[in-house]
Amino acid sequence: MRLLPILGAILVTALIYAFVFERDRMRAMLPSGVAQPDAPAQADDAAGAGADAPPTPGEIGVVAVKSRARAIDSAVRVRGRSEADRQVDVRAETSGRVISDPLRKGAFVEEGEVLCKLDPGTRQSALKEARARLAEALARVPEAEAKKPEAEARVQEARARLTEAEARLNEASINANAASKLSEQGFAAQTRVAGTQAAVRGAEAAIESAKAQLKSARSGLETVKATIESARAGVESARAAVESAEEEVERLTIAAPFAGLLESDTAELGSLLQPGALCATVIQLDPIMMVGFVPETEVDRVELGAAAKAELATGGTVEGEVVFISRAADPTTRTFRVEIEVPNPELRLRDGQTAEITIDAAGTQAHLLPQSALTLNDAGTLGVRLVTPDSRASFAPVQLLRDTPNGAWLAGLPEQARVIVIGQEYVTDGVRVAPSYREIGQ
């Protein structure tokens, strides 16, 4: 009983093969008066395709369209999300108890507006003390500088005395030398020689005393200079203490760094904040950024300043321009971050919304053809089959730019092309065809 279904399947397969692949030979075997079963169907197909005449023996009938290339914008499409232009967690820089009423999340704050105010405690007293020490240090500087002229005068006086002592020594040495020579010749007494030598020793002693006085005067001058430097250093130290105290007082007021929305409540009244504790989170949504990640194959087509459009998941559409293209790829996805700045004056857009982003790129010539016209060659290359001027089929590789409800935009074809849209799967390169043309969209 199983033999009959098998035989029936073989017979049906043979009939399908003969009808599809041996149709012309079967027509030749039929008598001329016998009506061919598929003639009406072929006539209907030819009429529907706009054919002028049936194919001659050796040609395969196909349906083709005459297409002309048109300039289209070769946009880059990526999926992305919205991000706040700026977001910061405002934190305390000093410890203290909150003494200001809290602001609730969602409130709009201006730049510099107070978010949290801390109890000053003894910080004002510390500031006053630092300022008093600064005034005291400033008063010491003129006092120390007033001693400098007196010390310099002492040095000059000591130098003059040394010069005078050296002159006296020189004079005493000359007198002693003269007396010694006269004594040798018998013209001077020994007492005179002894007197001149005593005068030399006295002059030498005066020089040593003058040198000691000069050294002491110089030491006093250095001490005065050191006192002046110490007074000035005290002034700088006091100023640093004042600045530190003033900064500590300023830290008691935590203000908004820029105008934006509060994403969280500010710290509650009476709560204790330590350094690093969160006061509030502020975000800026005008302008807002649309962020997408472009594959490395298309990143070169994106340029700074290019117009872009984002279609939100809610159905709305916004427009902006490219303001940033990353130079470093994501190590995992090998994509590049692209940011589009979008005006958001009414704050309708929120942080984190999903969007389909379209970035304008340089235009290109392309053909709008039905998706059904696409085929693959033996190497697996995507393309279409064209009708050559001598009515033969020829494969042409294409680049798929965009899919639309009306067809696919294809690049890589000549400006004018006759593209086979029906029957391209039954012909190969060089096969003669009998094309019948129709308008695109029929």
pLDDT greater than 50 at residue 47? no
What is the mean predicted confidence (pLDDT) over 181-194? 73
What is the per-residue pLDDT for 42? 39
What is the per-residue pLDDT for 171? 85
- pLDDT tens-digit map of 295-334: 988 888 888 999 999 999 888 899 999 999 999 999 999 9
* Weakest mean pLDDT among 8-17, 48-57, 411-420: 48-57
What is the per-residue pLDDT for 308? 92
CA distance 221 to 110: 59
CA distance 395 to 401: 19
CA distance 213 to 219: 10
Domain 284-362 classification at class level: mainly beta
Q: Percent of the chain beyond pLDDT 90?
A: 47
Phi-psi region of 347 (alpha: psi -120 to 50; beta: other; left: phi over 0): left
pLDDT greater than 50 at residue 67? yes
Phi-psi region of 396 (alpha: psi -120 to 50; beta: other; left: phi over 0): beta
CA distance 336 to 291: 10
pLDDT greater than 50 at residue 352? yes
CA distance 294 to 334: 9
Annotate the chain with three-state secondary structure: CCHHHHHHHHHHHHHHHHHHHCHHHHHHHCCCCCCCCCHHHHHHHHHHHCCCCCCCCCCEEEEEEEEECEEEECCEEEEEEEEEEEEEEEECCCCEEECCCCCCCCCEECCCCEEEEECCCCHHHHHHHHHHHHHHHHHHHHHHHHHHHHHHHHHHHHHHHHHHHHHHHHHHHHHHHHHHHHHHCCCCCHHHHHHHHHHHHHHHHHHHHHHHHHHHHHHHHHHHHHHHHHHHHHHHHHHHHHHHHHHHHHCCEEECCCCEEECCCCCCCCCEECCCCEEEEEEEEEEEEEEEEEECCCHHHCCCCCEEEEEECCCCEEEEEEEEECCCCCCCCCEEEEEEEECCCCCCCCCCCEEEEEECCCEEEEEEECHHHCEECCCCCEEEEEECCCCEEEEEECEEEEEECCEEEEECCCCEEEEEEECHHHCCCCCEEEEEECCCCC
- Of 200, 191, 132, nearest to 170 by C-alpha is 200
pLDDT greater than 50 at residue 252? yes
* Tokens found for residue 326: 């990353």
All structural domains of the chain with their residue ranges: 1-37, 65-72+364-437, 123-250, 284-362
What is the per-residue pLDDT for 162? 86
Q: Which fold, 65-72+364-437?
A: 2.40.420
* Tokens found for residue 112: 């510099």
What is the per-residue pLDDT for 135? 92
What is the per-residue pLDDT for 23? 60
pLDDT band at 217 (very low <50, low <70, confident <90, very high): confident
Cα Rg of the chain (Å, integer): 52
pLDDT greater than 70 at residue 55? no
Q: Percent of the chain beyond pLDDT 70?
A: 87
The CA-CA-CA angle for residues 71, 77, 78, to 5°, reads: 170
pLDDT greater than 50 at residue 66? yes
pLDDT greater than 50 at residue 46? no
What is the per-residue pLDDT for 17? 66
CA distance 401 to 384: 14
- Intra-chain end-to-end CA distance of the chain, in Å: 50
- Single-letter amino acid, residue 235: V
Of residues 37 and 218, the one with the higher pLDDT is 218
- pLDDT tens-digit map of 156-176: 988 888 888 888 888 888 887
- pLDDT tens-digit map of 74-110: 788 899 999 999 999 999 999 999 999 999 999 999 9
Asked if 90 and 281 touch (Cβ cutoff 8 Å), the reply is yes
Asked if 399 and 72 touch (Cβ cutoff 8 Å), the reply is no
What is the mean predicted confidence (pLDDT) over 417-436? 91
CA distance 385 to 64: 9
CATH superfamily to which 123-250 belongs: Helix Hairpins (1.10.287.620)
Residue 171 has phi, psi (to 5 degrees) of -65, -45
Q: Average per-residue pLDDT in the chain?
A: 85
What is the per-residue pLDDT for 48? 40
* Weakest mean pLDDT among 16-30, 327-341, 363-377: 16-30
pTM (whole model) above 0.95: no
What is the mean predicted confidence (pLDDT) over 361-380? 87
pLDDT band at 191 (very low <50, low <70, confident <90, very high): confident
Distance of alpha carbon 228 from the chain centroid: 52
123-250 has the same fold as 65-72+364-437: no
pLDDT greater than 80 at residue 38? no
Q: Does residue 37 have a cis bond before it (omega within 30 degrees)?
A: no
What is the per-residue pLDDT for 187? 67
pLDDT band at 45 (very low <50, low <70, confident <90, very high): very low
pLDDT greater than 90 at residue 143? no
Sign of CA dihedral 204, 209, 214, 215: positive
Asked if 108 and 216 touch (Cβ cutoff 8 Å), the reply is no
